[in-house]
Amino acid sequence: MKAVRIRFLALVAIACSVGFAATAVSVAAGQPVTVQAAQSAFNDAYRQEDWPRAIEVGLGLVQMLPDSDTIKYNLACAYALSGDPDSALHWLGRAAASGFTRLALLDSDSDLDSVRDRPGYSSVRTAVAENEGRRNREIVKRASKSPILIVAPPDHDRRRPSPLVIAFHGYGDRAANYPRFWSGPAADFGAILAVPQGLQPVGNGFGWGSVDEADAVFQRALAEVGRQYEVDPDRVVLTGFSQGGFIALALGLRYPDRFSGVIPMAGPYIPEVDAPPPVRAGSPNYYFIVGSRDRVVSDMRRAARDYESAGYDVKLRVVPSTGHNFPENSDRELEAALKWVLQE
């Protein structure tokens, strides 16, 4: 029950691990705290089934982030589990009014079982469905404007089915910076390289606004490469650095049958969001790369353990004396990763 709720709240916190700063604010009944601290307190209360405390912290979070549909949705769940379905329905309505779009979660979340037969629930569901439809259309429209940088090996035969490497750049970076790392190793395997570019301006570069946005850009990249080249569908590799590593993990879980391998590089890992389901036939191999001095080295170690425990073929490469950047000898490191996930 609570696992679904805690996972969803963690999606709000991920923004801070990929580039958004925390803001100090005050809770009505307490000392100044950060949004992250309040979210952590909400998670703790939820795990402990301390509904009065979860509601208290949730109301404080609404004051901190009054436009957050996610927080209002979580607060509705806390009210439902506390035995107050009318308040739960009220906060679901406010979540819908703030733009809540996750219809599948609304329909499947057992925390809301006491609310679905209440008068007015169907209207809330209709509003969420309309929000989701609008959002999906907007995402596809935005994704159509994302530049897709495509690099083929020298003297490549467009008609020959070839491996494909799709690389997601990091937060505040650009697609144009990635061929210098990936084009050589990809060419060594006869692979086409595709680097999508995020749509959220960040300084002199770009970031990924959400996994759904990255997914839409990913679909566009597949289509664009497919229009120009023959791709071997059994040899598609997904990779990403930093925020792009988080995206690679998320899409690897979303489409386990689409990839032969996933290479997350120095990406944040939140078990409540990224924890893998048990392995199934056709799931990709995972090759984790991170520097020994990187701030997310513990995240990558934890991710490798969790994926291995779930039955996936996993390799962890901790590059000595390396911080939050590509390895100094990136050609050798990336060639080793491709060789391993492609099993060549």
User: Hey, what amino acid is at 252?
Assistant: G
pLDDT greater than 50 at residue 1: no
Extract the tokens encoding 126.
Answer: 């209709």
Determine contact, residues 108/3, Cβ cutoff 8 Å: no
What mean pLDDT, rounded, does the chain reach?
A: 89
Return the minimum-mean-pLDDT range out of 27-31, 96-100, 181-185: 27-31
**Confidence (pLDDT) at 144:** 87
- For residues 37-48, average pLDDT: 90
Look up residue 83 and give its amino acid: G
Q: Are strands 314-319 and 285-291 parallel, antiparallel or unpaired?
A: parallel
pLDDT at residue 33, as a whole number: 65
DSSP 189-207: TT-EEEEE--SEEETTEEE
Q: How far apart are CA 48 and CA 54, in angstroms?
A: 9
- How do residues 69-124 score in pLDDT, each as one tens digit? 999 999 999 999 999 999 999 999 999 999 999 998 999 999 999 999 999 999 99
19 phi, psi to nearest 5 deg? 130, -5
Q: Is the pTM of this model over 0.85?
A: no
Q: Measured between alpha carbons, how far is 306 from 112 in angstroms, rounded to an integer? A: 29
Whether residue 285 has pLDDT greater than 60: yes
d(CA 216, CA 262): 18
Return d(Cα 285, Cα 313) in angstroms, integer.
Answer: 5
- Cα gap 57→51, rounded to integer Å: 10
On the question of pLDDT at 153 being above 90, the answer is yes
CA dihedral 240, 242, 248, 249 (to 10 degrees): 150
Instruction: Say whether 324 sits in a helix, a strand or coil.
Output: coil
Question: Across residues 16-25, what is the average pLDDT?
Answer: 32
SS3 247: helix
Nearest CA-CA partner of 261 in 279, 234, 225: 234
For 245, counting Cβ atoms within 10 Å of its Cβ (0-12 exposed, 13-18 middle, 19+ buried), the class is: buried
Q: Cβ(338)–Cβ(186) under 8 Å?
A: yes
Q: Tokens representing 274?
A: 């990224």
Q: Is the pLDDT of residue 169 over 60?
A: yes
pLDDT confidence tier of residue 258, bands split at 50, 70 and 90: very high
pLDDT at 344: 65
Q: How far apart are CA 67 and CA 69, in angstroms?
A: 6
